[in-house]
Structure 1
């Protein structure tokens, strides 16, 4: 298979996943599983996963700057797995629990909603960036990988960190 054919195959999957994942999450948010115990123990777990992802993203960048490609690769694959685990837990929680309303008032409420909305929008936006960055690495297109990684990294880091912040801000209202 030529590099062009391989690239096109990956691009199709990137587009499909970048559309299907957010749509599936939105649809699953409308579904409540009846007669299932609320999975209220999940939010601190998936917030911790977000925090761990943020830390590993930073360590991964440090490793590649040191020239340790193998550690970088392993850390990035771990970050992808953690992000998938986060998403599965997040959806499972919301399929068994009603959404929690933020109870803060005044200026802090606007800060919370700004962080929450930017987190949600960027968590959707980061999907194709992560996939493209990953594909460029596994196809050994390292120059293109580095270019897009400079965009992907801060977005993914922001999503991971703000996931923790959103959890901390809403946790008193669970």
Structure 2
């Protein structure tokens, strides 16, 4: 299986990206039947945004540490940190999709300039998150199908230099969206 993936990284990336984006858009549009989802108490579903905010902040720290490790030629540390970042992203995404599939997307409580700012930040966050999915799959598949000594001969470093900052910005903007939705009182808008 690993050899097949190694020979077909672009095709496997495309398939995984399409499936992932279909799940994201299906959840956001509430096309996934709720009967397929496990039931959870309201308090648990309500806690998901707060848990995801913590995951996002931890992911930013982990990704920054991973970038620092690779600049110091600490390849094993880089691999572990970026793998941890991917695991955090998967947990974040699973929780987010579960909540959105059950409850739908949140609406911003404000209007006017505050709402325009929120929508602009949300749009940039979403565009970056969508763009990151194939980039992350690509560098991840290259990393898991090759020994570290071969990665420098692939496009992994080049695509990683693009994917990592976009991933970071997406996580940071997602945290800003969280703050605007959950921490700033609606009366402030």
Structure 2 equivalent of residue 10 of structure 1: 9
Structure 1 equivalent of residue 115 of structure 2: 109
Of 161, 170, 177, the match for 1:150: 161
Structure 2 equivalent of residue 37 of structure 1: 41
In structure 2, stretches of 5+ residues that fail to align are none
Aligned-CA RMSD value = 2.3
Question: Does the CA-based 8 Å contact 2:9-2:142 persist in structure 1?
Answer: no
TM-score, normalised relative to structure 2: 0.82
Alpha-carbon separation, structure 2, partners of 1:148 and 1:17: 17
Alpha-carbon separation, structure 2, partners of 1:44 and 1:112: 18
- Counterpart check, 1:51 vs 2:57: yes
- Counterpart check, 1:124 vs 2:130: yes
- Counterpart check, 1:160 vs 2:177: no
Shift of 1:98: 3.7
Alpha-carbon separation, structure 1, partners of 2:21 and 2:67: 27
Question: Does the CA-based 8 Å contact 2:5-2:12 persist in structure 1?
Answer: no
Question: Does the CA-based 8 Å contact 2:5-2:141 persist in structure 1?
Answer: no
SS state of the match for residue 99, structure 1? coil
TM-score, normalised relative to structure 1: 0.88
Shift of 1:54: 1.0
Residue by residue, what CA displacement relative to the aligned partner does 1:12-64 show, whole Å, maximum 9, x if unpaired?
21100111111112113314636753311110101111111111111111111
Shift of 1:169: 0.5
Query: Where does 1:11-26 land on structure 2 (aligned, <5 Å)?
Result: 11-26=10-25
In structure 1, stretches of 5+ residues that fail to align are none
Question: Does the CA-based 8 Å contact 1:36-1:96 persist in structure 2?
Answer: no
Q: Aligned pair count? A: 172
Structure 1 equivalent of residue 106 of structure 2: 100
Alpha-carbon separation, structure 2, partners of 1:113 and 1:65: 35
